[in-house]
Amino acid sequence: MMTTLVAARVSLSPGRVGAVINRNVGALRSGPSYWIVLISGFFEPLLYLLSIGVGVGALVGDLNVDGHTMSYAAFVAPAMLAVSAMSGALAETTFNFFFKLKYMKTYEAVLATPVRPFEIAVGELVWAVARGSVYTVTFLGFMVAMGLTTVAGALAAFPATVLIGLAFGAVGMWVSTLMRGWQDFDLLGTGQFAMFLFSGTFSPVQDYPVGVEILIQLTPLYHAVELVRGLCTGIVGPGIVVNIAYLAVMVVGGLWLASRRVEKMLCV
């Protein structure tokens, strides 16, 4: 009985997942506003890269990380990329997802059709990552053009950014189902920003006191940054397995919890 229920919960029809994504494509066409937000999103990580990577980088000079010497821009760029993959997916699965869940009642209408909560979660996640990937691909293009990584490094890093998008998107979706109101988004934003500052983004985590370093290694963005930096710089150690496993658990766990919450909220 239990196994059939589990099977029913996670079995999904590609057509119905596609229909969930189709709704978002339709909304894109609804007006120029969404496009403006979407397209202008390109510039944000690029500006950060130029300001911190190149501007501050000129002050820093070269950096020595684990015995490898690299320019500060080459150190920061992969971290910016990981952050971009995270925020691209989160923008869709937190703010927009919450709005559709709580205010637009979009999913209430969808659940009256054959579509299941798990299919909604998967559809929204795939859409979020597809949207975020537009940014990461452009960003990787900038990085190659600026000589901050190789073409091979960019090709290896792209699937990693997809995994990061899936991981943060899935967990973000679950967190959105727990949100009480807009004020909780301030907390989420604060958490996101704190991770952005301290996940080895701007300076190596080894610089922090050991206790802080271990604490940081428990948070997700650290693993995302490590994974992308390793692939972009070509300095890959065995730790990459841990990074990937950590993110994979986020994908599976986040999706599972998110669809369960949607079911609990809307199918009572």
Partner 1 sequence: MTTETTAVTRVGDPPRLRPVVAVVERYLTLYRRLWQASVFSSFVLPILFLISIGIGVGGYVGSVEGVDYLSWIVPGVLVSTAFQICVGESTYPVLGDFKWVRAYHAMRAAPVSPKDIVHGHLIYMIFRVELSIAAFLLVVAFFGGLHSPWALATVPVCALLTAAVVTPVTAFAATIESDSYFALLFRFVVIPATLFSGVFFPVDQLPAAIRPVAYASPVWHAVELSRAATLGRAPGWPIVVHVGYLLLWAVVGLIAARRAFARRLED
Partner 2 sequence: MADQSLIHARGLVKRFGDFTAVDGIDLEVAPGEAFGFLGPNGAGKSSTMRMIGCVSTPTAGELRILGMDPVRDGTRIRARLGVCPQLDNLDPDLSVRENLTTYARYFGVSRAEARTRADELLEFVQLSDRANGKVEPLSGGMKRRLTIARAMVNDPDLVLLDEPTTGLDPQARHLVWERLFRLKQRGTTLVLTTHYMDEAEQLCDRLVVMDGGKIVAEGSPRALIENYSTAEVVELRFADGLDSNAQYAAKLDGIGDRVDPLPDRVLLYADDGDEAMAEVHRRGLTPESVLVRRSTLEDVFLHLTGRTLVD
Question: Which residues contact partner 2 (rule: CB under 8 A)?
Answer: 8, 13, 15-16, 18-20, 22-23, 26-27, 29-30, 104-106, 108-116, 266-268
Q: How many residues bind partner 1 (CB under 8 A)?
A: 36
Nearer to partner 1, 184 or 263 (CB): 184
6 binds, among partner 2, partner 1, none (CB under 5 to 8 A by kind): none
**Binding partner selected for residue 22 from partner 1, partner 2, none, CB under the kind-specific 5 to 8 Å limit:** partner 2
Q: Min. distance of Cβ 13 from partner 2 in angstroms?
A: 8
203 binds partner 1 (CB under 8 A): yes
Site string for partner 1, 55-74 (x = CB under 8 A): xx-xxxx-x--------x--
The entry of partner 1, partner 2, none that residue 113 binds, CB within 5 to 8 Å by partner kind: partner 2
- Identify whether the C-beta of residue 76 lies closer than 8 Å to the C-beta of residue 57: yes
Work out whether 33 is an interface residue with partner 1 (CB under 8 A): yes
CB 179 within 8 A of CB 260: no
Least distance from partner 1 to the Cβ atom of residue 182, Å = 10
The string of DSSP letters for the chain reads: -HHHHHHHHH---HHHHHHHHHHHHHHHHT-HHHHHHHHHTTHHHHHHIIIIIIIIHHHH-EEEETTEEEEHHHHHHHHHHHHHHHHHHHIIIIIIHHIIIIIS-HHHHHHTSS--HHHHHHHHHHHHHHHHHHHHHHHHHHHHHTTSS-HHHHHHHHHHHHHHHHHHHHHHHHHHHH--STHHHHHHHHHHHHHHHHSSSSS-GGGS-HHHHHHHHTSHHHHHHHHHHHHHHT---THHHHHHHHHHHHHHHHHHHHHHHHHHHH--
Strands 62-65 and 68-71: antiparallel
The CA distance from 195 to 164, in Å, is: 14
**Torsions phi, psi for 114 (to 5 deg):** -65, -10
CB of 38 to partner 2, least distance (A): 14
Distance, CA of 181 to chain centre: 22
76 or 154, CB closer to partner 1? 76
Of residues 144 and 266, the one with the C-beta less far from partner 2: 266
CB of 111 to partner 2, least distance (A): 5
Which of 29, 113, 186, 218 touches partner 1 by CB under 8 A? 186
> For partner 1, which residue of 12, 19, 23, 44 counts as binding (CB under 8 A)?
44
- Residue 109 Cβ vs partner 2, minimum distance, rounded to whole Å: 4
| Contact status: 47 vs partner 1 (CB under 8 A) | yes
- The alpha-carbon radius of gyration of the chain (Å, integer) is 19
Q: Which of 194, 235, 245, 248 binds partner 1 (CB under 8 A)?
A: 194
Binding site for partner 1 (CB under 8 A): 32-34, 36-37, 40-41, 43-44, 47-48, 50-52, 55-56, 58-61, 63, 72, 183, 186-187, 189-190, 193-194, 197-198, 201-203, 207-208
